[in-house]
Amino acid sequence: MQGKVVGSIREAIVLSGLRSGMTVSFHHHLRNGDYVLNLVMEQIAALGIDHLTVHASSLFDIHAPLLDHIKSHVVTKIQTDYMSARLGRAISEGAMEEPVEFRTHGGRPSAIETGAAPIDVAFIAAPASDSMGNCSGKYGKSACGSLGYAFPDAMHAKKVVVITDNLVPYPLVGWSIPETYVDYVVAVDAIGDPAGIVSGTTQITRDPIGLMMASYAVRVIQHSGLLKDGFSFQTGAGGASLAAAKFLKDVMVREQIRGSFGLGGITGYLVDMLREGCFETLLDVQCFDLKAVESIRTDPRHMEISASHYASPTVRSSAVDHLDVVILGATEVDTDFNVNVHTDSGGSIMGGSGGHSDTAAGAKLAMIIAPLFRARLPIVTDRVTCISTPGRDIDVLVTQAGIAVNPRQPELQDRLKQAGLPVVPIEELKTAAEKVTGVPTRPAHGNRAVAKVISRTGELLDTIYNIPRR
Amino acid sequence: MQGKVVGSIREAIVLSGLRSGMTVSFHHHLRNGDYVLNLVMEQIAALGIDHLTVHASSLFDIHAPLLDHIKSHVVTKIQTDYMSARLGRAISEGAMEEPVEFRTHGGRPSAIETGAAPIDVAFIAAPASDSMGNCSGKYGKSACGSLGYAFPDAMHAKKVVVITDNLVPYPLVGWSIPETYVDYVVAVDAIGDPAGIVSGTTQITRDPIGLMMASYAVRVIQHSGLLKDGFSFQTGAGGASLAAAKFLKDVMVREQIRGSFGLGGITGYLVDMLREGCFETLLDVQCFDLKAVESIRTDPRHMEISASHYASPTVRSSAVDHLDVVILGATEVDTDFNVNVHTDSGGSIMGGSGGHSDTAAGAKLAMIIAPLFRARLPIVTDRVTCISTPGRDIDVLVTQAGIAVNPRQPELQDRLKQAGLPVVPIEELKTAAEKVTGVPTRPAHGNRAVAKVISRTGELLDTIYNIPRR
């Protein structure tokens, strides 16, 4: 049996047959600690390969060197589900000729599997791998836990290169992605900076406004009719969302409610809920902190889930379709409940849907929690700068000043009113915000499309235009 | 989210769109206790659907009702990796017009994945499933352990029906096959007879000839140069093979050899080897006994492996390629080391390759253990009745009367001779057998092909012809 271990990333690139004009893919479990994308792109550039599409599940500030590769036309197209502010600002100012294609964490695997967004060479950053490419995120100095987003890349790319800093004897016990999909394995000194991969402990908010929103959020869940045995739940890693998870745990423990599953990007707060009996299992597409990594490594009830199983709309079913409640964030919400998580109010890219619109579409109750205003800019507006998640999929907006229920959910509205919660029309929240901040001027933008927002099912949802250079 | 649970197997068949002339598939983890194939075929026949191909990983005596479906042209073609004697005899006597296509446990997933043997509707017998089809073999009254052979069916069939007698709340904790592949779920009273699914305890042989062969087998392994740290091993569930596993364990424990993995169909003897530190992990495509089922359910080092990961020759790599030693059986071996496991010496089908030729091709040392003769028929012949595994992939034949080494392995021959083992030319074993049994007459057979033996890589290896009716 010929081995798959090759001497360098450069050698793996050459062996993969990568040529100019092709598509390379990356996953983002190493988050802002990821070295792999930069290491690979540096070698690709050195080899003189250009006009590539970078097809990444998310891009972080650490990937800023991509801007140089864009300038030199090594990279001429980007497909991603999320882009943090540093790259986002440059893209918004017009750094690329071709618009970025934003998909969702469920739409991306769907597009890969159906062939709408094929991959030539996938690079898998693996915290542990054996010589044949059986690999996992659970073990090693760069452990990140789940490799959920990397599954579609591994399963459908024409060539697959595993890059690891923890090469172990065959077979890796407890692999996630099997060798059956892997062409080459490269050992490097470090695939990432542990400090950037996961946070030590994600902290809940201490901000009184955040705590108030979290408290409202839990009361909305309590009175939604959904909080009963079999309950399923997802929340993000923002401070107020984490506070909501903690408060929800207290309620579930007190009322002895035995839920079924916690889903999504998993934090230690969800792990606490599992351990205290609030859930039977966690379905984990990505670990956000060390406690989650430790849990997925040691607790068989804490299961890794592929991006398709998590949220793809074109597999036979996915977990988001079984979700009762999801708590989500927003940079803007408009009076039609459309949500923007792609840009700031100035129109500069600083995020992306991730699993936002997938979970909103799947969950019985999709709740946005957001403060009425941030940095003197109102959250609630007439019209969001960018539609990331359509208003038809959002059920409730929770702010510190009141709770707005989508008119499409009159029964929920009645329930919350009867429970004495401060339910108000969403227009009132807009007015309340504008009393503090004034009516914002619409941000100026140019006529050049810098990004297309593609819905989870593949339709064009919105277009993001260039903004003036700073 | 619309559920996938339908009221009956009949309804699932109708919903699947199954029509005459299509291909239905089954896996064999419930072995001779399987009710599912018969239940499904009965409903298909009642619906008036005919001219089907049955595409099964193995067929056992319990599947004898297939003969009625063959008579009535409900089934007009069979593809399988193994067929036990009752069906085999009828096929050999000419029950079907079209020849059976025999593949191997690695060739089957390869043919499914590459499209050479596509499946229209796969029926998955699942000892546990949730309402969306996340399913596993590990839990429930019909627990069979691994579902390894069912993975390619689930992943590549146009429609997938899960049939379970243990429907659990969503999500099943510890699924093997995810819901992403499943279209319909049917709950039935029983998917199998536990007594036929796995044996309570598989017994090692007490026959002195078997024990002698097992002892030789272990000495061959000891002196092969392969028995050292990192050693990997597969053996079958026959009495002498199990005895060899037990003796090998004693040697490894005594000599403190820490192997890497045990592979294949797993028995309690391999589980003992794992527990006593002979292996780091077991890679399990099928459990043979209750101890193996208990182990795969509770020990994270005992991992389920898909049929492709086990043995497919067309994935990027599979576990058989990493195998040091495999111990295999034979109904006949010829002086070119070709092995027959498809027919008895009379030419009647009573088996099939299973993983025989996959592991023989992959392993560094492929060893056949077989007695010199059975029921007064010699094992070693001039020419096997059917070539199941080509002689080029077989390294050693161990009998009670001596050990024959394939001339392609002169170094191994020297090692064994130097160790004082009774190494003899294979022709001598033939002569010794014939002294006892007499020279056998070649079985009479007709001119009608009743089965084609297709190699793991898809070439025609041999043809099995009809034999006289009894």
For the stretch B104-122, pLDDT in tens is 999 999 999 999 999 999 9
pLDDT at B1: 45
Report the distance separating Cα A54 and Cα A37, nearest Å.
Answer: 9
B331 in contact with A, Cβ within 8 Å: no
Per-residue pLDDT, averaged over B143-155, amounts to 98
* pLDDT exceeds cutoff 50 at A9: yes
Q: In the structure, what pLDDT confidence band is assigned to residue B236 with cuts at 50, 70 and 90?
A: confident
Among A111-120, B295-304, B435-444, the least confident range: B435-444
Its domain, for residue B178, covers: 5-57+105-197
The answer to whether the beta carbons of residues B69 and B75 sit under 8 Å apart is yes
* pLDDT exceeds cutoff 80 at B250: yes
A212 and A192 part of one domain: no
Report the distance separating Cα B139 and Cα B128, nearest Å.
Answer: 6
B362 in contact with A, Cβ within 8 Å: yes
A254 and A280 part of one domain: yes
B186 and B322 part of one domain: no
Q: Write out the two tokens for A58.
A: 């998310």
pLDDT at B376: 83
pLDDT at B2: 56
Whether the upstream peptide bond of residue A390 has omega within 30° of 0, thus cis, is no
A132 and A260 part of one domain: no
> Is B315 close to A362, i.e. CB distance below 8 A?
no
Question: Residue A51 falls within a domain, yes or no?
Answer: yes
pLDDT at B239: 84
Classify the phi-psi angles of B169: left when phi > 0, otherwise alpha if psi is within -120 to 50, otherwise beta.
beta
ipTM attached to this prediction: 0.96
- Decide: residue A111, CB within 10 A, 0-12 exposed, 13-18 middle, 19+ buried: buried
* Burial readout A257-292 (b: 16 or more C-beta within 10 A, e: otherwise): bebbbbbbbbbbbbbbbbeeebbbbbbbbbbbbbbb
pLDDT, tens digit, 9 for 90 and up, residues B2-16: 589 999 999 999 999
The domain total for chain A is 2
- Decide: residue A447, CB within 10 A, 0-12 exposed, 13-18 middle, 19+ buried: exposed
* pLDDT exceeds cutoff 90 at A108: yes
pLDDT at A201: 61
Q: Write out the two tokens for A201.
A: 């402990």
B185 and B212 part of one domain: no
Question: Residue A30 falls within a domain, yes or no?
Answer: yes
Per-residue pLDDT, averaged over A31-44, amounts to 97
* pLDDT exceeds cutoff 80 at A2: no
Q: In the structure, what pLDDT confidence band is assigned to residue B167 with cuts at 50, 70 and 90?
A: very high
pLDDT, tens digit, 9 for 90 and up, residues B363-406: 999 999 999 998 888 999 999 999 999 999 999 999 999 999 99
Question: Residue A468 falls within a domain, yes or no?
Answer: no
Average pLDDT, chain A: 96
Report the distance separating Cα A396 and Cα B357, nearest Å.
Answer: 60
pLDDT at B303: 98
> Is B180 close to A261, i.e. CB distance below 8 A?
no
pTM of the predicted model, to two decimals?
0.97
Per-window interface: A 178-197 vs B, CB < 8 A: 178-183
pLDDT at B104: 98
Q: Write out the two tokens for A163.
A: 């890059």
- Decide: residue A470, CB within 10 A, 0-12 exposed, 13-18 middle, 19+ buried: exposed
Per-residue pLDDT, averaged over A17-46, amounts to 98
> Is B316 close to A160, i.e. CB distance below 8 A?
yes
Last residue of one domain, picked from the residues A153, A168, A197: A197
Per-residue pLDDT, averaged over A199-218, amounts to 86
Question: Residue A448 falls within a domain, yes or no?
Answer: no
Report the distance separating Cα A179 and Cα B96, nearest Å.
Answer: 39
* pLDDT exceeds cutoff 80 at B243: yes
Question: What is the percentage of chain A residues whose pLDDT exceeds 90?
Answer: 92
Question: Residue A77 falls within a domain, yes or no?
Answer: no
What residues form DSSP beta bridges with B142?
Answer: none
Q: Which of A170, A282, A295, A312 has the most B C-beta neighbours within 10 Å, making it the best mutation to test the interface with B?
A: A170
Q: Is B68 helix (H, G, I), strand (E, B) or coil?
A: helix
Last residue of one domain, picked from the residues B174, B197, B220: B197
The helix (run of H) or strand (run of E) holding residue A410 is: helix A410-418
Residue A198 has φ and ψ, to the nearest 5°, of -135, 150
The label of the residue with tokens 């390869």 reads B110
Among A15-24, A203-212, B170-179, B351-360, the least confident range: A203-212
Question: What is the percentage of chain B residues whose pLDDT exceeds 70?
Answer: 99
Per-residue pLDDT, averaged over B328-355, amounts to 96
The label of the residue with tokens 């496991």 reads B341
B137 and B281 part of one domain: no
Last residue of one domain, picked from the residues B166, B197, B228: B197
- Decide: residue A366, CB within 10 A, 0-12 exposed, 13-18 middle, 19+ buried: buried
A131 in contact with B, Cβ within 8 Å: no
Q: Which of A16, A113, A151, A180 has the most B C-beta neighbours within 10 Å, making it the best mutation to test the interface with B?
A: A180
Question: Residue B62 falls within a domain, yes or no?
Answer: no
A123 and A33 part of one domain: yes
B353 and B425 part of one domain: yes
A306 and A436 part of one domain: yes
pLDDT, tens digit, 9 for 90 and up, residues A316-351: 999 999 999 999 999 999 999 999 999 998 999 999
What residues form DSSP beta bridges with A349?
Answer: A343
* pLDDT exceeds cutoff 50 at A364: yes
Neighbours of B308 (CB within 10 A): 28
A262 and A191 part of one domain: no
Q: What is the CATH number of the domain that holds A42?
A: 3.40.1080.10
B181 and B237 part of one domain: no
Question: Residue A457 falls within a domain, yes or no?
Answer: no
Per-residue pLDDT, averaged over B270-289, amounts to 97
Nearest CA in chain B to A363: B1
Neighbours of A201 (CB within 10 A): 12
User: What is the four-CA torsion angle of A206, A144, A365, A230, rounded to 10 degrees?
Assistant: -110
B182 and B259 part of one domain: no
Neighbours of A251 (CB within 10 A): 15
> Is A173 close to B283, i.e. CB distance below 8 A?
no
Contacts of A84 (CB under 8 A, 6+ apart): A32, A59, A60, A61, A350, A351
> Is B133 close to A312, i.e. CB distance below 8 A?
no
Question: Residue B468 falls within a domain, yes or no?
Answer: no
